[in-house]
Amino acid sequence: EAQVTQNPRYLITVTGKKLTVTCSQNMNHEYMSWYRQDPGLGLRQIYYSMNVEVTDKGDVPEGYKVSRKEKRNFPLILESPSPNQTSLYFCASSWRDRLPYGYTFGSGTRLTVV
């Protein structure tokens, strides 16, 4: 089944404790992206990647890091999480050079930083 898999689904952590949210897709998509969803703000892009070893900032990149060492994986790293990073996070992927069929989204990771 074609899908984007995120882990974990739920995470509660303390301020300053480094964490990684994993994202993997099995569709051979070149483009991958991370979004955060907050009430009244919709989804805002954090980082994106056009292909392996090619990443760039989205609209709200502060406090986040990403890497793209393999085509299928695009982990999101919070080096020193803070309470304002409490949010619902989505990973998504799509084809890069074809008509925009739209993103395929993961099921989301609900992060709480206390």
The residues binding another protein (CB under 8 A) are 4, 30-31, 33, 35, 40-45, 48, 50, 58, 90, 92, 94-103, 105-108
User: How near is the Cβ of 83 to another protein at its closest, in Å?
Assistant: 22
Cβ atoms of residues 87 and 99 within 8 Å: no
* Smallest separation, CB 56 to another protein (Å): 10
**CB closer to another protein out of 23 and 113:** 23
**How many CA atoms within 13 Å lie on the side-chain side of 10?**
0
Q: 23 vs 80, which CB is nearer to another protein?
A: 23
**Helix, strand or coil, per DSSP, at residue 23:** strand
Integer Cα distance of 51 and 76 in angstroms: 15
